[in-house]
Every structure is written in structure tokens, then in C-alpha cells.
Amino acid sequence: MTILVDENTRVIVQGITGRIGSVQTRLMLNYGTKIVAGVTPGKGGQTVEGIPVYNTVSEALKEHPADSSIIFVPATFAKDAAFEAINAGLKLLVIITEHIPVHDTMKIKAMAERHGVTVLGPNTPGIISPGKTKLGIMPGNLYMPGEVGIVARSATLSYEIAGNLTEAGIGQTTCLGIGGDLITGVTFVDVLKMFEADHDTKAIVIVGEIGRTVEEEAAKFIEGQISKPVVAFIAGRYAPLGKRMGHAGAIIERGRGTVETKITALREAGVKVIERPMEIVSAIRDVFKHGLT
Amino acid sequence: MRLFEFEAKALFSLNGIPIPEGEVVETPTEARDVAESLQKPVMLKAQVLAGMRGKAGGIKLARNPVEAEEFSKKLLGTEICGCKVRKLLVEECLDIDRELYLSVTFDSSKGRPVIIASPEGGIEIEEVAFKSPEKIIQVYVDVFEGIKPEAAREIVMKMGLTGDLLLKVSQTLWTLYKVFEKYDAIIAEINPLIITKNQQVSAAGAVLNLDDDALYRHPEVAIKPEERIEDPIELEAWKLGIPYVRLDGDIGTIGSGAGLAIATIDLVRHFGGKAANFLDTGGRITQEHIEKALEIVMMNPNVRAILINLYGGINPIVEGARGIVKFIRERKLQIPVVVKVKGNFEDEAWKILEEAGVDVIKVTQTELAAQRIVQLAQMGESVDYSR
């Protein structure tokens, strides 16, 4: 088993005719992803990598039933594209687009919650179940099938962690990014629940970084509700404070959001926190050695 | 992007929030003139993009125009909280009866707007939250519904206000939410909202942070980056749309992705080196972009080695490799450069780099790359790429 996607997942690519959309469609097809149709308003009737293009999501769905969409639409139009996919009845959206205005993301999130739709991103590398499918931009060759679930905020840092595991011969069930923006669809907690319920996932890896409080919330949730071993890496030990992040929501995030608070919270919840990405290998080996069900 | 206080106030006022009378000035003479025309004591407020400015001596009370001129001379040109003071806001001094706190921001976990109000304003709201959390009112807002006038009144009632003030403050709160919505704000804050002795309200302290990614929707908010980014390299990077932060080390770093770039800095430090900067190429490693990124890194004269850490996910990574080689050759670079490249099209990228004599790391371990660059930087030998 995997979470959210598997070899039967049928995918629509929104923004398929764009520079990134078309290249990534080819790479996903090469990986084995069941892409059934593409959507670009005004480009209906064309084909990209042999995939038929439609003007709207609902038009595409009439010919090609699907359950999920991966969105490469430019930031300016991304909110509308997401709304369109939700209204057409798709249940999983992977929003790759970065720089979507925060107010738009709040609306996408609210709309998705109303319709029971799962949103990964914005600004996510997507999701991959190695050997089965990938709805995302991650390099497929860094992954291999196995028993570790990875959830990350940063795209390339999650590649690093997965790549370290693969090079050591440790495979993964599903790896996904919640997205690097200030507001994202699913959070760490949502994904932890899914990994807990997935029989094939034997250990969970959280890849976090400074800012936001999703790691602290994950820590709180792990205590008591996650029975599987969790390993975490948090980037930003030497990052300059207050330089990159705005001070938004300061009161709610008061005293949290630094590397120290995240690491402390996770350690208190029984999570093994590693100091360097490479240590993921020994940490996971340890976990497996110490007897798993 | 944080606006200066005077810019925030101008937008607040434009939308109907009452603000103190005053003007922004750049010279002591202008400060005196404004004080004269106001005909009352004035506050001189350094216009810097930093909090805690009052504690750092950035706010002064001048009882008359002569003092206004005198104190302005002392304030202008100094540094407050690491920012040079180029402008002062000269404002009427209000007769304070009470100070309140109002803000609209969003909760990043819930992904919803949140209104935060407190009957205790004037000091850091974090301090209020810490000392008397019961005085903080937090109300989440449905992003589609926004806030209704009656909901705003309910919040203000919880702050303990009644009568005419209930109406005035709730109108202010309602408008503040509108401003938050209208300008794609990250945070819109009034602290303090002053109630004067004759029961008028006035936004004496204002903070407005706008979402950089939504600025294109607000051409009316003209933002001059050269007025708000102090470091010349950071300013240059901003103009090019490259996330860059200058640091105090000597190893230039480039990462394709913020998290990776941050982790790279951590690892350089772990192995005994110090990064000269943070730089994130994001998902657009074209030949041109990587050349620009390198240009930015090399603007810092302290840089004596460069670590480039790239993943070919969404990036045309081969082009990135070409950009690196072109930059090294054109600039006749002689400092050590280590490049770690993994992912889509990695073989082609390795070939291009190796043929140019660049040190290439072909495994996912950033540790190896960090270790190598720290060693090379410490050896301090120049590298000949012209072979």
C-alpha cells in the first residue's frame, strides 16, 4: 500500500502545454504515471507527448475519468485552475506552482476543505510512490520502493534525504512535499495520519525547516497518536534569524518556529532528530534493527 | 514587503482609518516647518523597517519647532536597528486616554485570516500574550465571507468598549480587515490605536506587510526597493528576483531550493567553514539565471570558494552546468568551485562540468560537497580552469 496515490491513479495535467508542464509530463510518463489528459484553456485539440489536451477539466473528464490533477499553471491563474479542478470533482490536487499569492492559497484551502479535496502545495515537488507512480517534479532516479514514508516542506532537501536512503539501499513507500509556502493544503499532521494508517510504511521521516509551526504541531500529534518510529531533520541551524520569514502571525507562533523549538518539541515527542541529512541512513537502520512489527 | 510607517498610514487613511496629523520629512528644516504648522508638540519617528524602534531611541518628543529641528538633526542619518534613518514622520502629539491593539493576519497552520485584538496596546503584543493571555482576543475569519460589521462589534465589545467608542473602534477594525483583504496583506496592524481624552480614535502606530507575490495586483502601491534594502548586494539580488541573504563567512553558496540552500549553509558550518551568503535559485536553473546567481555571489569580496548544490527536478540542470562553466571562463575565476548535481539529466551536467575542470560531486551527500569546499577554501590555492 501507499498513501494518496498508486499505480491506478489517473491524472490530469493542468498547464500541460507550458514549458515546464510539457517536460514534466514526459518525465512522469516515462516513470509510468497514468496521465490521461491535459488541460490548457484555448489549446484544446492539441496533443502533448501523445496526451490529448482539452480546454477545461470537465471536458477532459467526460472522455477520460480521473481522480487527481497536477497543476503547472502560472501563479496568476493558479487559483482559478484549482477551483476548476475542485468543481469538476477531482479529489487530489498537486499544485507545483510557486509564488501564488497567500490570499489565493487561503481561498484554495477553504474551497478544498468544503469539498473534501486533498491539496498538496502550493510550491510542492509533488508526490511519488516509487516504482508505482509520480505526480511531481522530483527526479525519479533518486527513489526506490521500500518501507519508509517521507514528508517534507522543502523539495530539494527531500530529494537529498530520499537519495541518501536509496544510495544506502533503503526504499520508500511514498514521499511527498506539503509545500514550501506560508500556507499549504495538507500539513505534517494530515500526512502523519495517512502514514500511520498505511500498513506498508514502517518508519516515517519528517524533513522540516525554520519558520511556521508545522513541526511543533507534528510533535504534539506524534505523542500518543503515532505508533511508528519517526525520524526528523530540521534545516536552518545557522540560518540568519528573521531574515527570510516575515513576522506574520507572530503572536500565534510566539516563541516557536526556530530550529531549537522544533527540535526540542520533536525530541520530547520521542522523535529521533538527526543533525545532518546523511545520518538518516543510520537512524533508519537503527529503527529497523530495533524490531518493527 | 514591509511598508514604512508613513506609507502604511497613508493607505490606512486613504481607506478611512483615522491617523494623527503629520508629514514625512527628510531634513531638520522641514521637521521644524511641520511642527510649526501643527502648532503643538510633535513626535519625531524614525522611518526604519524594523520593530522595537522606540526602545532603540528612534522616537522622540519635541515640545516646540526648535526642538523638532534640533532632535531631527540628531536622528537623521543615524542608524536605528541596523537601518539608516533617511526620513522622519513628524506627527501631532495626542492626548492619550487609552491604547488598544488591533491586527489582522493569518494563521499559517489553519490557513485562515485571524483577527487579534487587545484592550492593552502600545507595547509588544507578544508581551501581553505572555503576561496576560486572557487579554488577547483571537477570532478566525472565513476567507470567503470576510468580516461583517456586527462581528467586528462583538470583538470590540469583548475589549470592554461601549457607546460611541464601540462604534468608532469596530468601524476601524472592520476597515482594517478590508485593507488586509484589498492589498493582499500578510499583516495589517494598528498598535497603538489611541483613544484621545476627547474620545477620538487614531491609528498612532501602523504596520503593513504586503505579500511580495501579490504586488503585481497593486500597482498603486509604488515600492522603491532601493529605499528599503540596506545591503547593496541584497538590493541587486532583489532586482533580479533572486532570494539572497548576505552572511559573514567566506564560502559562497548556491542551492536549488530554500531548504537545501539552508541545509548547505548548516553543513558548511558543521565542517568548520562559514557561508558568505544564502542564495536560492528556486526552480529555474537556466544558463542565464545561474550566471546571474554567480554574479551576485561574487559581488561579495569576501568570497574565496563557491559551493553549488543543485537538483535537477523542475530545472533544466544541463543548462545550469553550462552557465557555471561559462561564468568561470568569462570571469577567469581562480577560486575553488565545487558543484553537486543530482537528478534529471545529471550525466550530461557532470560531463560539461568535468570537462571544464570543475570539482563535481555525483552522490546525494551534500556532506561530501561541504567537506570538500571547506578543505579547498582553507588550503587557499588558486585553481586554473583554463586548461
B155: alpha, beta or left, given left = phi > 0 and alpha = psi -120 to 50? Answer: alpha
Put simply, the answer to whether A139 touches B311 (Cβ < 8 Å) is: yes
Put simply, the answer to whether A182 touches B344 (Cβ < 8 Å) is: no
From chain A, the residues in CB contact with B82 under 8 A are none
Q: How far is B31 from B72, CA to CA, in rounded Å?
A: 7
Identify the pLDDT of residue A11: 98
Strand spans (E) along chain B: 22-25, 42-46, 59-62, 79-80, 83-84, 88-92, 96-107, 112-118, 137-140, 185-196, 201-203, 206-210, 244-246, 251-255, 277-279, 305-312, 337-343, 359-361
Cell of A276: 545532518
Q: Which helix (H) or strand (E) holds B204?
A: none
Burial of A66-101, coded b for 16+ CB within 10 Å and e otherwise, reads: bbbbbbbbebbbbbebbbbbbebebbbbbbbbbbbb
Read off the pLDDT of each residue in A85-94 and give the average, rounded to a whole number.
98
Put simply, the answer to whether A277 touches B365 (Cβ < 8 Å) is: yes
Task: Name the percent of chain A lying above pLDDT 90.
Answer: 83
Cell of B136: 488577547
Burial of B322-331, coded b for 16+ CB within 10 Å and e otherwise, reads: bbbbbbbeee
Look up the ipTM and state it: 0.91
Nearest chain B residue to A250, by CA: B126
Put simply, the answer to whether A102 touches B186 (Cβ < 8 Å) is: yes
- pLDDT, one tens digit per residue, over A221-256 is 999 899 999 999 999 888 765 554 333 333 445 555
Nearest to A154 among B2, B259, B269 (CB): B259
Pairing of strands A203-209, A145-152: parallel
Q: Between helices A214-225 and A259-268, what is the axis angle to 10°?
A: 0
Put simply, the answer to whether A249 touches B343 (Cβ < 8 Å) is: no
Higher-pLDDT residue of B381 and A7 is A7
CB neighbours of A141 closer than 8 A, spacing ≥ 6? Answer: B343, B344, B346
- Give burial (CB, 10 Å; 0-12/13-18/19+) of B62: buried
Q: How far is B333 from B339, CA to CA, in rounded Å?
A: 14
Judge if the upstream peptide bond of residue B232 is cis by omega within 30 degrees of 0: no
Strand spans (E) along chain A: 10-14, 34-39, 47-48, 51-54, 68-71, 92-95, 118-120, 126-129, 133-136, 145-152, 172-177, 203-209, 230-235, 272-274
* Banded model confidence at residue A292, pLDDT cuts 50, 70, 90: low
Handedness of CA A159, A162, A168, A174 (dihedral sign): negative
Identify the pLDDT of residue A162: 97
Q: Is residue B26 annotated as a catalytic residue, yes or no? A: no
Nearest chain B residue to A215, by CA: B109
Put simply, the answer to whether A254 touches B142 (Cβ < 8 Å) is: no
Q: How far is A56 from A74, CA to CA, in rounded Å?
A: 16
Please state which of the ranges A229-233, B248-252, B378-382 shows the lowest mean pLDDT: B378-382
From chain B, the residues in CB contact with A79 under 8 A are none
Nearest to A109 among B111, B258, B269 (CB): B111
> Catalytic residue positions of A?
247
Contact A68, A90 (CB under 8 A): yes
From chain B, the residues in CB contact with A75 under 8 A are 213
Contact A269, A232 (CB under 8 A): no
Put simply, the answer to whether B265 touches A238 (Cβ < 8 Å) is: yes
Read off the pLDDT of each residue in A24-37 and give the average, rounded to a whole number.
97
Identify the pLDDT of residue A248: 35
Q: How far is B234 from A92, CA to CA, in rounded Å?
A: 38
Distance from CA of A148 to the nearest CA of B (A): 18
* Banded model confidence at residue A291, pLDDT cuts 50, 70, 90: low
- pLDDT, one tens digit per residue, over B148-199 is 999 999 999 999 999 999 999 999 999 999 999 999 999 999 999 999 999 9
Please state which of the ranges A188-197, B97-106, B116-125, B267-276 shows the lowest mean pLDDT: B116-125
| DSSP notation for A56-97 | SHHHHHHHS--SEEEE---HHHHHHHHHHHHHTT-SEEEE--
Q: How far is A130 from A2, CA to CA, in rounded Å?
A: 9
Cell of A149: 514514508
Distance, C-alpha B61 to centroid of its chain: 28
- pLDDT, one tens digit per residue, over A31-64 is 999 999 999 999 999 999 999 999 999 999 999 9
Answer yes or no: is pLDDT of B6 > 90: yes
Q: How far is A82 from A95, CA to CA, in rounded Å?
A: 8
Contact A29/B at CB under 8 A: no
Put simply, the answer to whether A254 touches B126 (Cβ < 8 Å) is: yes
From chain A, the residues in CB contact with B130 under 8 A are 254
Bridge partners (DSSP) of residue A134 are A128
Contact A192/B at CB under 8 A: no
Contact B106/A at CB under 8 A: yes
Nearest chain A residue to B186, by CA: A248
Identify the pLDDT of residue B279: 94
Contact A174/B at CB under 8 A: no
- pLDDT, one tens digit per residue, over B49-62 is 877 788 888 999 99
One-letter amino acid at B88 equals L
Q: How far is A6 from A25, CA to CA, in rounded Å?
A: 17
Please state which of the ranges A54-63, A155-164, A205-214, B313-322 shows the lowest mean pLDDT: B313-322
| CB-CB neighbours of B362 under 10 Å | 15
Query: If DSSP codes are grouped into helix, strand and coil, which group holds residue A213?
Result: coil
Identify the pLDDT of residue A247: 34
Answer yes or no: is pLDDT of A106 > 90: yes
Nearest chain B residue to A112, by CA: B111
Q: Could you say which residues from 43 to 82 on chain A have a Cβ atom under 8 Å away from some Cβ of chain B?
A: 75-76
One-letter amino acid at B121 equals G
Read off the pLDDT of each residue in A200-226 and give the average, rounded to a whole number.
93
Read off the pLDDT of each residue in A203-218 and give the average, rounded to a whole number.
92
Kindly report the average pLDDT of chain B as a whole number: 93
A116: alpha, beta or left, given left = phi > 0 and alpha = psi -120 to 50? Answer: left
